Amino acid sequence: MNSAFVIIELKGFTGIADSLSLRMEKVGITSERIRGAGIDIIENVFTIINKKIPYEYEKKIGGDTWILKFSNLEDAIKFGYFLFSTFVKYMNQNGIFFIKPVIAINIGEPKFKDDNFLDNTSIRTYRVADKGEPFSLYVLDEAIIQSRHLSWVQLENVKINGLPEDQEVQLINWMEIKNIKNKPQIRDSISLPTLLLDSEIIYSETLNDSVNHIIHQQNSSHSVITFGGPVPFNTQNYKKYLINSIKLIKTKNDCTWTILSYIPLNEPLIGLTWLELCKRLSIQYPEKFTFSAFTLPDGQLRPFSYHIYDDSVVQIGLRSYSPQHGVSIMNAAIMIRNEKIAKRFKNEFLENLRKVGPIDDIKYAEISKSFRGINNQIRQEAFQTVDQLLMG
């Protein structure tokens, strides 16, 4: 039997996240955080079901679409059944109502690049998932013919609004499927204390220890993801971190760096120096270094900072007020080695990165002009500092 692929679309995911986060900023509930949590939940369910019904690969497309490839159609349909059954259970027992998956199944090898489908079969299958109804399991094209040979599958004709009238689509009545063996045991929830007991945790009591752990970790990593504010280059420990990071970016070819920074507008020298440094690195090393930034207006509380290494280690900065800088800066940290915790941080990071978008000349100009008290002397000092850092 030919290989099959599944396209999963989360119905209304962006709109639901926006609605749930409405006027919830006070307690830190943002649409990106909700989306990140939703993505983590669904991918965790993928992993659990995959232990019983293996797929060949999983690929996330855009903000709320996944492709999974299976060796045969039967496994693809079983996977859809278990996915829906699990989320019905999550809705009834855990109150998770905002995840509304739609599944479309076809035969063959899906073709895609970045966030775009390339061939007619993949595009048709995606459109069915995109236009379909939540908790509906659709088959089309050759998958319809092969599904008729499975005695435990019941098909019915269905019309989907927004699709051509001549495109045949069949709906599998997954709620009536009875004869599926090896039903996976689904864990209802993830307990943070349990995760912590299964983790290696390092607490750094000083800034020097925190920076040393960061340097040690990034020296051995193949992927570095960083969220936080500008690095204060005029502090010795941070300067050591900057010099080490720049050296690795220049020389370490098996590592990628993704940086998302908030830029306080009331710190023109540090902010412009960091902005210029990261922009130049992204231009000089586009394959290894990705940079994005957004502004932080006066009076807005600063988010905490964190690093993610190789999708398995999270370093969370702990801060206190610094009279020297007039703001809270990192002076301690906690490092957690746990893939599930790292995945939660990464999913929210990617959602924020997607929303902010990469830095370009227009964004750079807007941010650099927005600093409070910016003048030519500050610009000159910032550019000179960047020159010195890059020359090593």
Span 31-82, pLDDT tens digits: 888 888 888 888 888 988 888 889 998 888 887 899 999 999 999 999 999 9
Q: Please tell me whether residues 233 and 162 are part of one structural domain.
A: no
pLDDT band of residue 181 (cuts 50, 70, 90) is: low
Neighbours of 62 (CB within 10 A): 11
**Helix (H), strand (E) at residue 204:** strand 200-204
CA angle 111, 113, 119 (to 5 degrees): 35
Q: Please tell me whether residues 66 and 162 are part of one structural domain.
A: yes
pLDDT band of residue 188 (cuts 50, 70, 90) is: very low
Q: Which CATH number goes with the domain that contains 161?
A: 3.30.70.1230
Q: Please tell me whether residues 74 and 102 are part of one structural domain.
A: yes
Q: Please tell me whether residues 125 and 240 are part of one structural domain.
A: no
Q: Which CATH number goes with the domain that contains 285?
A: 3.30.870.10
Q: What is the mean pLDDT of the chain?
A: 85
How many domains does one find in the chain? 2
Domain membership of residue 352 (yes or no) is yes
Q: Please tell me whether residues 79 and 141 are part of one structural domain.
A: yes
Rg of the chain taking only CA atoms, in angstroms: 24
Looking at the predicted structure, is the pLDDT value of residue 240 above 80? Answer: yes
More confident residue, 218 or 115: 218
Is 52 in a helix, a strand, or coil? Answer: coil
pTM score of the predicted model: 0.57
Domain membership of residue 186 (yes or no) is no
Domain extent at residue 288: 192-391
- Using the 3D structure, point to which of 125, 145, 176 is the last residue of a domain: 176
| Residue 332 vs residues 200, 202, 203, 320: alpha-carbon distances, Å | 17, 11, 8, 9
Q: Please tell me whether residues 58 and 99 are part of one structural domain.
A: yes
Domain membership of residue 367 (yes or no) is yes
Q: Please tell me whether residues 213 and 128 are part of one structural domain.
A: no
Highest averaged pLDDT of the listed ranges 26-35, 183-192, 231-240, 258-267: 258-267
Domain membership of residue 187 (yes or no) is no
